[in-house]
Amino acid sequence: MGNMDCSGEFIAFAVETGVLRFGEFKTKAGRLSPYFFNAGLFNDGASLNRLTDFYAKAILASNLPCDMLFGPAYKGIPLVAGTAIALAQKGRNLPYCFNRKEAKDHGEGGTLIGAPLAGRVLIVDDVISAGTSVRESVELIRAAGAVPGGVVIALDRMERGQGELSAVQEVQQAYGIPVVAVASLDDLLAYLGGRPELAQNLRAVFEYRRQYGIKT
């Protein structure tokens, strides 16, 4: 989703920073993947700044109605804060909130920090693998009387889970909410296709897409 320029730029940026690597990597599902995406490696000020700028652009391009942002602990915490800053710099100032995994037993108690959950809430996360953090986020948002409005992630791997659907499609189906990805596996293939020096990576990723990819 979003415009191709942004997606292609994002893939190039992820490759430059070593966040997206090629080789042979074992996934949680036991598959041998020809690429590995680790958003935890956006770990300095400049790369976090650029990453969350991509998130903000994807949110604005999606035109999703939203009143605030929510970041699931722990990976979603720097992402939601950075995205809120990036959106504010683009003239869209939204409140944000995140959770802590353990309830606090002193002070105000509770597991939520930041603006109170209200209205349509956009969940900001890195990737959706099992959908667990999305489920927990949806439950927290609904428990507060707010409405989950969608999920924004960095990369949609577009690969099947146990059945025919991908983790992203399962989330869309289970909660009836859209998932906006800054970039997808198809964007990765398009990026590789434009670079002759990465031809063997293109072949490997294409083969992986053929074997495990969702039908589009």
Higher local confidence (pLDDT), 162 or 8 = 8
Q: What is the mean pLDDT of residues 66-87?
A: 96
* Predicted confidence (pLDDT) at residue 125 exceeds the cutoff of 90: yes
pTM of the model: 0.92
**Catalytic residue flag (residue 106):** yes
Q: What is the mean pLDDT of residues 121-150?
A: 93
Report the largest interatomic distance among the alpha carbons of the chain, rounded to a whole angstrom.
59
Could you give the number of structural domains in the chain? 1
> Residue 186: CB partners within 8 Å, gap ≥ 6?
158, 216
pLDDT of residue 104: 58
CATH code of residue 106:
3.40.50.2020
What confidence tier does 2 reach under pLDDT thresholds 50, 70, 90? Answer: very low
Q: What is the mean pLDDT of residues 63-86?
A: 96
Q: What is the mean pLDDT of residues 106-133?
A: 85
Residue range(s) defining the domain that contains residue 126: 4-212
Q: Single out the catalytic residue among 26, 57, 101, 106.
A: 106
Q: Specify burial of residue 142 (Cβ count, 10 A radius: 0-12, 13-18, 19+).
A: middle
Q: What is the mean pLDDT of residues 93-121?
A: 84
Q: Give the DSSP per-residue string, the chain.
A: ---HHHHHHHHHHHHHTTSEEEEEEE-TTS-EEEEEE-GGG--SHHHHHHHHHHHHHHHHHHT---SEEEE-TTTHHHHHHHHHHHHHHTT----EEEE-SS--SSTT-SSEEESPP-SEEEEE-S--SSSHHHHHHHHHHHHTT-EEEEEEEEEE--BB-SSSSBHHHHHHHHH---EEEEEEHHHHHHHHHT-GGGHHHHHHHHHHHHHHBPP-
Q: Among the listed ranges 9-18, 72-81, 129-138, 193-202, which one has the minimum average pLDDT value?
A: 129-138
Q: Single out the catalytic residue among 26, 57, 90, 104.
A: 104
Q: Among the listed ranges 44-58, 109-123, 137-151, 181-195, which one has the minimum average pLDDT value?
A: 109-123
pLDDT of residue 98: 97
pLDDT of residue 1: 42
